Amino acid sequence: MNWTWFHKLGSPKWFYELTSKWLPWLIGAMVIFLAVGVVWALLYIPPDYQQSYTTRILVIHVAVAGTSLAFFPLMAVAGTITLVWRMKLADMVAKNAAPLGAWFSFITLATGSLWGSVMWGTWWEWSDARLVSMLFQFFLLVGVVALRSALEDNDTAARACALLSIVGCINVVIIKYSVEWWNVLHQPSSPLSMSGESANGPEFWVPTVVMIVAVYLFFAVSLILATRNEILQRERKAAWVQELVSKA
Amino acid sequence: MSQAASPSTGHAFLATLKRDLVIAYKRKNDMLNPFMFFLIVATLFPIGITPDPERLGEISAGVLWISALLASLLAMDNLYRSDYEDGSLEQLLLCPYPLYYLVLAKNLAHWLVSGLPVVLVSPLIAYMLNLPQEAYLTLFLTLLMGTPVLSLLGSIGVALTVGLGSRGLILAVITLPMSVPVLIAGTLAVQQTLNGAPLLAYLAIMGAMLLTALTLAPLASAAALRISVN
Amino acid sequence: MIEAIQFASFSEFLDMGGYGFNVWSVYGLFTVFVAANLISPVMKRKRIVRDLKRRAVVNEQQSN
């Protein structure tokens, strides 16, 4: 098997040049999907017979929540690459993924609260496993960010955070299942069993899919922008960076 | 030392265990502090919440578990720090035995001096907090199986932060969320035995957690130590 | 699938069937979230480029 693509991937310069080509397209697609998604959701979704206009919240919430679940697997894979192959690029991605993931988790919780406050009549509900495990995912991501900022040496920080991300990824799964189990035993007859399920016709899920694509594109664009900054900072002594800066 | 006379991994495990126990015995305060911390935190709850025996009985299992969790967190600081400062941790990493067993020995020694006393005194605190009698055995057994898991998980966090000057808070931020499954299993076991559920099922779950932690956590700790100590 | 616009007037649009506060809070929050996570890397990039340029100038002066 030909592995040159894999080693190329490890080269920050290659990544920088590739993303320079891709970014305009990604940003264009992101703007289109975001605009279509938001306008469609706000103006055209018919009111749900149970949830009225609050399904507009779910469009955002579902998209952000889905994307926020991608962070720990992404960081664990990047961490494995950092630990096994010492690839600098993987760590640059992982470093910026952690705070972005904390943002995503926070927005998931906040939008979920705003939806729950009308549909459940409460801002916070311990008996919903998704809320509680998302909260702990948020804590774990904040832990990774804290560890990164506490360790001064770049290489140590990279490998320590890589290990913590792998441990955290396994932990998020265990926490998710244990919280679900905890809930089942604490709430034999949950009054909250009604969740977003009533809103599931195509007039609802098509804009939701558009929004999911939009949020994924936003995630990619934001992470790529941050990673490119990281490359410029860490490779500032490289000839190609100095040339690039002098032209800018 | 000649190649032929080099002792087996089992010997290295026992030697590390013995060394850590001797050091702990010589520093009795380090042993006593987590224990006292556990006692004091557990007694703060009745004062902070309510002296009413009935309501105390409801929360007592949670109070004991959270106190044990905090005591274990507080004690974690001693696990690798002094060895890191005097350089013996580096020697440990350099020696030819699988680091997994040495880390396991250190964790075991640490649990014996800081975790086990907490477990042993827990029935007394449970009595003071008016835990219903049917739950004593469950509480004791789940603490006995659960506190080693807390130590093993905490060890990863300590190993990652051993090089830092002040790390009390960051250690808490990293390790506390990881302890949630143990906390859930422990307190649920107590509540469910009070509802008449069979104890064995919960012990099985606790045992599964302990075995998983025993096999995986020392590997992660060992890797973390190698990262922290260059 | 695509229905007609659901609102007869602008005030109805703002009201969102009585859930205006929650719906608009979510969209406001989402806008801030997206904008912040796009603008901050762009600003940071400007800062980095400026910083690197200054260093290049200093280095050149030193070597001359």
A52: confidence class by pLDDT, cuts 50, 70, 90: confident
pLDDT value of position A222: 95
The Cα-based distances of B14 to A36, A246, B117, B216 in angstroms read 66, 62, 21, 20
For an interface test with C, give the residue of A111, A120, A203, A215 to mutate (most C CBs within 10 A). Answer: A111
Mean pLDDT of B97-105: 90
Domain boundaries, position C24: 10-63
pLDDT value of position B151: 92
pLDDT value of position A142: 94
Q: Looking at the predicted structure, is the pLDDT value of residue A199 above 60?
A: no
Count: domains in chain C: 1
pLDDT value of position B155: 93
Q: Looking at the predicted structure, is the pLDDT value of residue A194 above 90?
A: no
Backbone angles phi, psi at B228, to 5 degrees: -75, -35
Average pLDDT in chain A: 85
B16-28: per-residue pLDDT in tens? 889 888 888 888 8
Extended beta strands in C1-64, E state: none
ipTM score of complex: 0.86
Comparison of pLDDT for A219 and B192, the residue scoring more: A219
Mean pLDDT of A207-223: 93
Pairwise CB contact (< 8 Å): A114 & C17: no
Among A136, A142, A178, beta carbon nearest to B185: A178
Residues A159-195: b if buried by 16+ CB within 10 A, e if exposed: bbbbbbbbbbbbbbebbbebbebbbeeebeeeeeeee
Question: Of chain C residues 3-22, which have a CB less than 8 A from chain A?
Answer: 3-7, 13, 16-19, 22
Q: A52 - beta bridge partners?
A: A48
pLDDT value of position B95: 84
Mean pLDDT of C9-16: 76
The answer to whether position C57 is within a domain reads: yes
A168: confidence class by pLDDT, cuts 50, 70, 90: very high
Q: Looking at the predicted structure, is the pLDDT value of residue B143 above 60?
A: yes
Kindly identify which residue of chain C lies nearest to residue A31, measuring between CA atoms.
C34
Distance from CA of C51 to the nearest CA of A (A): 10
The answer to whether position A35 is within a domain reads: no
The answer to whether position A3 is within a domain reads: no
pLDDT value of position A187: 52
Q: How many residues are given for chain C?
A: 64
| Residue C50 forms contact with A (CB below 8 Å) | no
Return the top range by mean pLDDT from A47-51, A212-216, B98-102, B167-171.
Answer: A212-216
The answer to whether position C2 is within a domain reads: no
B71 contact partners, CB below 8 Å, separation of at least 6: B34, B35, B37, B38, B41, B114, B118
The answer to whether position C32 is within a domain reads: yes
Closest CA to B110 of B148, B58, B53, B144: B148
Pairwise CB contact (< 8 Å): B164 & A175: no
B206 contact partners, CB below 8 Å, separation of at least 6: B141, B142, B145, B146, B185, B186, B189
Backbone angles phi, psi at A48, to 5 degrees: -75, 145
Q: Looking at the predicted structure, is the pLDDT value of residue A224 above 90?
A: yes
Question: Which secondary structure element, helix H or strand E, spans residue A226, and what is its range?
Answer: helix A202-234
Q: Looking at the predicted structure, is the pLDDT value of residue A80 above 90?
A: yes
pLDDT value of position A212: 93
C-alpha dihedral over A88, A90, A92, A96, to 10 degrees? -170
Percent pLDDT > 70 in chain A is 90
B1: confidence class by pLDDT, cuts 50, 70, 90: very low
A117: confidence class by pLDDT, cuts 50, 70, 90: confident
CB-neighbour burial class of residue A18 (10 A; exposed 0-12, middle 13-18, buried 19+): middle
The answer to whether position C1 is within a domain reads: no
| Residue A142 forms contact with B (CB below 8 Å) | yes
Count: domains in chain A: 1
Distance from CA of A226 to the nearest CA of C (A): 5
Query: What residues in B contact A163, CB-CB < 8 Å?
Result: 156, 160, 220, 223-224, 227
Domain boundaries, position A80: 54-188+199-247
Kindly identify which residue of chain B lies nearest to residue A142, measuring between CA atoms.
B173
The answer to whether position A21 is within a domain reads: no
Q: Is B64 helix (H, G, I), strand (E, B) or coil?
A: helix
pLDDT value of position A243: 84
Integer Cα distance of A69 and A56 in angstroms: 21
Percent pLDDT > 90 in chain A is 45
Give the single-character DSSP code of A54.
T
